[in-house]
Every structure is written in structure tokens, then in C-alpha cells.
Amino acid sequence: REGWKRLGQWVALGALVGVACGAASALFLWLLDLATDFRTEHEIIVFTLPLAGLVIGAIYERWGAPIEGGNNLVIDTIHDEGPQLPLRMAPMVLVGTVLTHLFGGSAGREGTAVQMGASLADAIAFRLGVDGPVRRQLLAAGVAGGFGSVFGTPIAGCVFGLEFIVLGRLQHDALVPALVASIVGDLVTRALGIAHTPYPTIAPLALTPLLLAQWALFAIAMAATTTAFIELTHRIKTTLKARVTRLPFRMFLGGAAVVALWQLMGTSEYLGLGVPTIVRAFSDPSLPVYAFAAKLLFTAITIGAGFLGGEVTPLFFVGAALGSVLARAMGLPIDMGAGVGLAVVFAAASNAPLALSIMAVELLGASVLPHVVIVAVIAYLLTGHRGIYPSQRLTRPKW
Amino acid sequence: REGWKRLGQWVALGALVGVACGAASALFLWLLDLATDFRTEHEIIVFTLPLAGLVIGAIYERWGAPIEGGNNLVIDTIHDEGPQLPLRMAPMVLVGTVLTHLFGGSAGREGTAVQMGASLADAIAFRLGVDGPVRRQLLAAGVAGGFGSVFGTPIAGCVFGLEFIVLGRLQHDALVPALVASIVGDLVTRALGIAHTPYPTIAPLALTPLLLAQWALFAIAMAATTTAFIELTHRIKTTLKARVTRLPFRMFLGGAAVVALWQLMGTSEYLGLGVPTIVRAFSDPSLPVYAFAAKLLFTAITIGAGFLGGEVTPLFFVGAALGSVLARAMGLPIDMGAGVGLAVVFAAASNAPLALSIMAVELLGASVLPHVVIVAVIAYLLTGHRGIYPSQRLTRPKW
């Protein structure tokens, strides 16, 4: 029967995409760990970040033009059935991101994972000559598999693959391939020996009308911070582009600014992913109040100047640090504040409140419900029609 | 600004719907507890179930015609912008359900909660003269508020309100009113002193390729059971209707059949909601293998004959009992098997895999992920285009 054939195709192709995504994520995470370890042991290397920017920029300027759009190119390709995503996207974004982290740029991982996953999925789609709708589903599966395997959160990966393409809708038609790719991708990454950062499990907290009001305030602060990040990154990007035409020089300048800030702050906490500080935000009541702002600035400069990576982990840092401080000020448990904040800034920035709420559950346990959903939805609404992926289509106004 | 006004309206109206739903659910759950306690202490009352059916049937035949569609009427009203849902739906379905449980019928609660919520929401919508789209959003909010407050699972309630109307899509446009109604409804129900059944928190279980294969088998069994329930209930309903024209006599016959089965089985375990057995399924390795089938039969007869209530809790029973037994047979932890089964049979029956997966997390903890999603999606696919709500619209074939 026709239907069984389609189901079989979904499962087989989804699994294929999942294996590719999982293997790519494992390689990426392994190299990222090496790069981060090397940097923390030889911090002097950070002084060469401007030079690294010059070189990466030159390479990207020469060979990277077709993949410049990054995540936006992935979104546009899914919508417009554009030409095949260049397969070179996978190795180039992988190497570019690892170099960003080796030299101390403040960036994330999900952009890399999503772009590797989507370009591998599209290579599979073209290789097998599938039709248009199936190709779109495989691209969503690539996004899901990349996202799910790089963070070890398969269900969030699946929902992210369905949610981030179109703003305000979650279509089930890529559900099966996305779920298969995400589950298989995560299994493959783990089977290849990758261990993900363990986050603390958060203690339950009863919802009360007072807490609801506190969450509303909390969400306003999160939305303001998210908006600041989006606008600042955008401003840096456009201003730099207007003044400095060539990418290598923009990256040189961005790298120099990060080095200057690093020396000014006198701490390496805001370089790279920043995982140790994220974990600290869950328990340390003396976390600096300004930590979120510092990480926001480091990341906006790094990304705005053209370095590769993504925004998830730095925005986890921004959200967790701000949430921890706000919880302190409001008399809420700081682990809950950090946990909700962790998920919410990226949820608002990527317009994926559902995926990030599920991610919070997968990382931090069920006690984050219903809190994370309430705060994520408010912040998602207040952030308006902006986001870190300008290519996201709008089915209707948020409100 | 226009947008802020709409946002304010959503929050205010959502809260209003939530208060109405929460109060209705609290009254309902309180009466349901009284009825269940009375029945378990005076089991002889079950012998009068046929007579009760005769009386309830007569009342419904006389005054209940406009609300006969139940949940399907709610779905149709949302789609077709039909006339206002009769406000009498709320008290009638409440009293009908409490009587069903008082006399020992095997039924649930979510139908009642959803219908009370939707009819109260529609009364608010008509009273305030809101326009068509807002009315539809308030109806979804009523569904969300009713479902969320009656089970104490606000996030699942919200997603259920968005997911169950249309098969295969989750539209965010009613997100805000549904979330507000569901959160407020839950708070109101709890504030009125209602405590929900505590379920055990499930221990983590690592996903492996072998476990994935076991879950696929598990899902096939769940889908077969769900299909059997849907078809049997439908068969009983149509056969009875064809042979016995008047509702009171159909309910009399159904009641008599339940009494006969009850005497035959020699246990009261399969009457009413069956919560004690659901809890038992998580830990008792000697749960009878046939328990799920017995509950399925009791429920199909009760619902097929026209008694009121819903399917959630009996299908929790069916799923948890079957899952517990399957886990035993496969060497899996029985709490995980029971927990996944609990959510999956109703997920497949109502075509709401996402809402029920979230419900499982809210009731049983985050360790049910990713297992419950995998099994729910497979069972949802295999159940095909049938369900306990025939009015659900199809945007596209499942596969």
C-alpha cells in the first residue's frame, strides 16, 4: 500500500539523515572539546584571535560565499525549494566553528549542528533523487538531527526542526522523519563516546498567583535582554559591513575587540561556550550581576563580526546568569531562575518557545514545568517580530 | 497600539475562561470523589446502574438533544462557527457524569471537563459579543482550561486545546488564551482544595537500539488495543442505535451488561475511573494480564450505551495495565512500561501525541522522555485516521 511505502521511506531516510547528523555532531563535539581544552590550558592563544579572524575570513571570502546565509540559507531553502545546499557547508562550518572556539571567540554550537545536518540531509535527498515535499521533510530532519544530537536532547531537536522554520506554527508533516533523525542522531553521537554536560535537576516549585506575577516581570527582563542581543548583533553586523567591505578585516576587528574586552574584564569566563559559568549560575549566589551583560556583549561582537558557531550556548549563559540574579533579587530558588532563564532567552531569540521548553525538561527535569512555558511564551510575545533568524516566515502576526 | 489591546484582551478573556473552567472542574471533581467514595462503600448501588441509565437516558432524551454531540459538537462549533454551545451543556454533562460514576459505569472525566469548559467559554464569548476568530480562540481556551484543570496538568491542557481540534497541526493562534485559561484554571481548581492523584516518578532509562525495537513492538500492541477500543465502542453504539431507538432503553441495556460483567468478573476493579488499579500497574508485577482487556470492555459498553464522562482515565487504565504487562514480558522496568502505556493509548485515541507526551512528563517526570514520544508517535500513526472524536478535521493524511 502507498501509505506503508511512505512510512517506510520516512523511517529509512530519517535514520540515514540521523546517522549522518549524529556522526557529524560527534566529530564536531570531540574537536570542540579539544579546542576548548587547548585554549583553557594555553590562554595566550586568545591574543591571536584577530589574526585567526583574518585567516578564517579570507578562507570564507574565497570559498564561503554560497553558504554565507548560514541558518537563514537553510530556512530559505526549505521554503523556496532552492538549489541544493552546498555539501561543503558541513566541513567549512565545522572547521570555522572549532577555530572560533580554539581562539576564544564567544559563540555556540547549534548553528554549526543545524547547518551540518541540513547540508548532509540535502546531499542525501539529491543523491537519492527524492521529490520536493520529501526533500523539505529531510531538510527539517537534518535540522532536528543536528540540533538533537549536538545537545543530547532528541525531543527538543525534533520539535525545533518543526518549529523554527515558520513562526507561529508547528506542522506535523515532517514529524516522522524529524523524530527518527533526532533519536537516531542522538544515539549515534552517544555511541561514539560523546558525553553531554550534565545540568542539575531542579526542585519542584508550586505555582501561585504571586509567582505568576514574578514570572511576568522575569519574562519582561528576559525579553528586553533578548531584544538587546538581537538588535546589538544586527547593529554591529550592519555597521561593520557598511564601514569595512572585506570579511577578513571585519573579523580581525571583531577579534581585536574581543581581546580588548577580555583584557579589560580580566577574566576568561566570557570566552568560548562558557559552560562552567552556566553550571555555576544554578548554585552560586555570588554570580556577578553584570555577567549576563558581559557575555551578551562578547557574543554580539563575535557573531556580529562574522565568526562561526551559533547562539544557543552563549544565550544559555546570558539567560541562566540573568535568571540566577533575578531569582536572587525576587527571593526565588536560584536553580529555578537559572533553569528558566537558560531556556527562555534562546526560545525568544529563535522563536521556538515549545522546543526550548521541552529542551529545559530534557536537561533539567520536569519541575521546570509549567514555569518555563509561561516565561518562554511571554518573552516570545514581547520580543515581537524579530529574531536571530530573519528568514523565518510569518504565517500571521504574533499578536 | 492595536497589538497591545489584543494581547490584553487575550489575557483578560483567557483568565476569565480559566476561572470559570477551574471552578467547574473543582465542583465536578469534588462531586466525583463523593460519588466514587459512596459507591465503593455501598457497592450494592451498582445493581441499580440499569435503572440509573433509564432515568439519565430519559432526562437526556427530553432536554439533551442539542448537546448530544459532546466533544464532537465542540469541535464542529470551533470549525463551523456554529450557533452558541448551549450553556446547559455544563450542568447536564456534570450531573450525568457524576451519576455515571455513582452507579459504577466505567467512564472518564475529560469529556465532561472539555464540554463544561467549552460551553462556559462560549457563554462568555457571546455575552461579551467578541468577533468570530476571538470566539474560536476562547473555545480552544475552554477546552484547554477544562482539560488542564481537571487533571492538574496545565501545559498538557494548553497543548491539548491546540492539538485536538485539527488532526496533524498545532496552530499557535490560540496559544495565549489557551495557556492563560489552562494555568488559571489549574490554579483555581487547586485553590478550591482539590488534590490530584499523585503518580510515581519514573526512574531514568537509557535509550538503546534494542529498546527502540522493543518500543516499536510495544507501540504496535498499543495501537492495536486503541483500534480495538475505538472500533468496539463504535460498533456497540451503532448496533444499539439500530436495534433500540430510544436512549433510555439503550442505557438500561448497557447498564445491565456492565452489571452482568461485574458479577461475572467478581471484582469492582473495572468500575468507575479505576484510579487504584492505575497506580497499582506501576509497581505490581502480579497485575492480571487480562486487566486491560476487561477495562476496555467495561468502558466500551458504558460509553457505547450513552453514559457520560469521557475516555481519558479508563484509557489510562487500559494503557497502564497493558504497558505494565508488556514491560514484564519484555524485561523492561514496569513503572516505565505502565507510564508510557498510560499516556499512549489515549494519545492515539484522541490523535494528540504531543499533548499526552507532555501530560506524561507533568504526571510522571522527565524520565518518560524520549520513550513516551517515540511510542506515542508510532501508535498515533498506526491507529490511522480513526479516533474517539470523529469530528476532528484532517489537514492531510497522516501518511
pLDDT digits 0-9 by tens, A82-119: 889 999 889 999 999 999 999 999 999 888 999 999 99
Chain A residues in contact with B179 (beta carbon < 8 A): 373-374, 377
What secondary structure letter does DSSP report for A192? T
CATH topology match: B2-191 vs B209-394: yes
Chain B residues in contact with A7 (beta carbon < 8 A): 381, 399
CB-based contact (8 Å) between B362 and chain A? yes
The domain defined by A2-191 carries CATH number 3.30.43.10: no
Q: Grid coordinates 494503557 are at which residue?
A: B319
CB-based contact (8 Å) between B361 and chain A? yes
- The rounded distance, in Å, linking the Cα atoms of A280 and A357 is 21
Q: Residue A128 phi/psi, 5° resolution?
A: -90, -5
Contact A370 B155 (CB under 8 A): yes
Chain B residues in contact with A366 (beta carbon < 8 A): 361-362, 364-366
Out of A171, A373, A381, whose CB is closest to B155? Answer: A373
Which pLDDT score, from 0 to 100, does residue A397 have? Answer: 65
pLDDT tens, residue by residue, B28-42: 999 999 999 999 999
- Residue B87 is which amino acid? L
Out of A7, A381, A396, whose CB is closest to B7? Answer: A381
Which pLDDT score, from 0 to 100, does residue A266 have? Answer: 93
Contact B399 A187 (CB under 8 A): no
Integer angstrom CA distances of residue B250 from B26, B62, B111, B301: 31, 15, 20, 10
CB-based contact (8 Å) between A172 and chain B? yes
pLDDT tens, residue by residue, A124-146: 999 999 988 889 899 999 999 99
Which pLDDT score, from 0 to 100, does residue B168 have? Answer: 54
pLDDT band of residue A395 (cuts 50, 70, 90) is low
Out of A3, A361, A377, whose CB is closest to B399? Answer: A3
pLDDT tens, residue by residue, A204-220: 999 999 999 999 999 99
Q: B320: distance to nearest CA of chain A, Å?
A: 20
> To which H or E segment does residue B347 belong?
helix B334-350
pLDDT tens, residue by residue, A33-75: 999 999 999 999 999 999 999 999 999 888 887 788 788 888 8
- The rounded distance, in Å, linking the Cα atoms of A374 and B155 is 9
pLDDT band of residue A167 (cuts 50, 70, 90) is low
Q: A312: distance to nearest CA of chain B, Å?
A: 21
Contact A7 B209 (CB under 8 A): no
Out of B7, B172, B361, whose CB is closest to A169? Answer: B172
Which pLDDT score, from 0 to 100, does residue B251 have? Answer: 96
Which pLDDT score, from 0 to 100, does residue A78 have? Answer: 81
What secondary structure letter does DSSP report for A387? -
pLDDT band of residue A396 (cuts 50, 70, 90) is low
Which pLDDT score, from 0 to 100, does residue B399 have? Answer: 60
Out of A3, A172, A369, whose CB is closest to B169? Answer: A172
What secondary structure letter does DSSP report for A65? G
CB-based contact (8 Å) between A236 and chain B? no
pLDDT tens, residue by residue, A334-347: 999 999 999 999 99
Q: What's the grid cell of residue A16? A: 540515514
pLDDT along chain B (399 residues), means of 10: 84 96 97 95 95 93 83 82 89 93 92 93 94 89 96 95 70 86 97 94 94 97 97 95 94 96 95 94 96 97 91 94 97 97 95 93 96 96 82 67
CB-based contact (8 Å) between B181 and chain A? no
CATH of domain A209-394: 1.10.3080.10
As a whole number, mean pLDDT of residues A188-196 equals 96
Chain B residues in contact with A172 (beta carbon < 8 A): 168-170
- The rounded distance, in Å, linking the Cα atoms of A380 and A348 is 4
Out of B10, B171, B186, whose CB is closest to A169? Answer: B171
Residue B205: is it exposed, middle or buried by C-beta count within 10 angstroms (0-12/13-18/19+)? middle
Most confident of A171-180, A389-398, B164-173: A171-180
Q: Is the pLDDT of residue A171 over 70?
A: no
CB-based contact (8 Å) between A171 and chain B? yes
CB-based contact (8 Å) between B318 and chain A? no
Those residues whose C-beta lies under 8 Å from the C-beta of residue B89, and which sit 6 or more positions away, are B67, B115, B116, B118, B119
- The rounded distance, in Å, linking the Cα atoms of A25 and A120 is 12
The ipTM, to two decimals, is 0.91
Q: What's the grid cell of residue B316? A: 489510562
Q: Which of B185, B97, B173, B82 is nearest to B142 (CA)?
A: B185
- The rounded distance, in Å, linking the Cα atoms of A272 and A43 is 12
Chain B residues in contact with A373 (beta carbon < 8 A): 155, 158, 179
- Domain range list for chain B: 2-191, 209-394
Which pLDDT score, from 0 to 100, does residue A288 have? Answer: 96
- The rounded distance, in Å, linking the Cα atoms of B246 and B252 is 10
Chain B residues in contact with A370 (beta carbon < 8 A): 154-155, 183, 362
